[in-house]
Structure 1
Amino acid sequence: MPRPTAPAGRPDAPRLLVLRALGLGDLLAGVPALRGVRRAFPGHHVVLALPAALEEAALATGAVDAVLPAEAPARGVPALDGWRGPPPDVAIDLHGNGPESRDALAALAPRRLLAHAHPDPSLPRPPVWCPHEHERARWCRFLGAYGIAADPDDVRLPMPAAASPAPGAVVVHPGAESASRRWPAGRFALLARRLRAAGHRVVVTGGPKEDALVLDVAARGGVPVRDVLRGGLPFGELSALVARASLVVSGDTGLAHLAVAHATPSVTLFGPVSPRLWGPPRDPRHLALWKPGPPGDPHGVLPDPQLLRIGAGEVTAASLTLLSPLRVRNG
């Protein structure tokens, strides 16, 4: 595994390790906390432990200096055996609230460890885990207990330097990590067809293992081959696509968080997790569609019943509302 290195000209800089070995949406939801850490420790070399595939995205936040590749088992905690050199000066657990993530960091013998499961005994009020708290607010409040200020609305990413493969298009992203968060492909196809009929260029995207889904939605939605983006775009290209899109429509996935990070109008379909926990900030550019009901399993193998209650007509209307100031035509 690659070894994190000290900043150029500062070989003796103390190192700070943050653990958040999760997906793209989790990384982007953690940006406000990461930026709070960056400001609180300006002289440290900040290393973020997360999956190697997210290295480009992590560095694009401007909040970290290097990445420690850390592949977690399904819904688990990775071993941090790729760490080299002396123990970290500070280790921060932004991964979870249990002893497993705390223990992974504690095994490196950091001088100071910040974790829900390992509160600093000097704190008069140690951080408390609140299960119904929004993800961005949770980690900012956690850091606040340690005297580190972080703003949960500090989510924006800089405009990518890369060119978009489809500037001004509506990005339709039908995939999601778990089936419980996947709105039916037929409804995404109907949405694509209606948006194209209204004069908007539509591109369909998916992750590296979602080619069959992407091709199905595109074929049924009448999307031409040139606007079918298969295989999972590299982060730089995906970021440019989203940043220069007219709209992003997706389930509760990393792409929805990327739209928020670039202030691109978005319609996000929620279920089984409420937008109160993972939704966008209050902003008229971002519409979160959600049918209240009993909480479901975010890792379930069947589409969530609340998600299925969202109809194609409702999503089309929300999309056209956000697109109404635009006059983007199919090319």
Structure 2
Amino acid sequence: MLKDKIRSRKHGILLYGITPPKMKHTTEEIHTIAATHIQRINALDIDALVLYDIQDESDRTSQIRPFPFVETLDSSYYKEHFLQDIRVPVIVYKAVGKYKKDAFSHWLESTKNQDFYSVFVGAASQKSKTNLSMRDAYALKKEINPDLILGGIVIPERHMSKGDEHLRVFSKIDRGCEFFISQAVYNLAAAKQFLDDYLEYATLHHKPLVPIIFTLTPCGSTKTLEFMKWLGVNIPVVLEEKLKNSDDILEESVRLSRENFEALYRYGKEKGIPIGCNVESVAIRKVEIEASLQLLDEVKESINIINKEGNK
């Protein structure tokens, strides 16, 4: 079970992430989309589905958003009403600032007496108007459903500029987080630096190391690349040029993502840090969805090969 893997700090937790359908769809269209999601997810050998809670991040930066923001269904509503036939656990993201206290409390009540997984996400920036703070969300979780299996967000790229991402992680662990899922990782050096400081702090302060699950995102076009950068994904210049100058940017992004994860997984295994992977499929183009499934298969193969190497 996923809960056991998280709490026993297993290496190689494997997730697949999707976004709920857009609000503009009719109920009939949403049922059709959900049927496709269910069929696809149930065919995968994964530990859990990640279901994102999308929020507008336009106030995070003055740069123009490459794609217009389109509101999606609430993540927990989509899970409850349309994804009942998913056969793996679902990790429901909650952008807590969108919810008023009463609504968030009601949702927490609904998660009781079951193995429910969630990741709380804070506001995109300090300028964002919020109804509920992360501090209050953690407090409500502890009060209403302390058994909810809670994860947090980690952004290794932020560690390169601020140097305190590991401290943010341990602060969230103190508030009940038992695992972490990263933003899309393209900067290998930033991820390794975070892992180094994460391990050093844990060793010095006798803290347990909870699983760090790195997210991989196939990139199918230069516009998608620009959108990822707008979202704050740090893509080194050399790597960006490789993608832009490749014959097939999607194929190259899959290759680079796989290589990055293999490096991080080996790095974690050597240092005793439990590392997992979350492959995102947030595009609607068939070719990009297929690329995410290919990447998922390749990551699983890499995990198996590296694990066997360690057992020799």
TM-score (norm 2): 0.29
Specify which structure has the bigger relative contact order, considering alpha-carbon pairs within 8 angstroms and separated by 6 or more residues: 2
TM-score (norm 1): 0.28
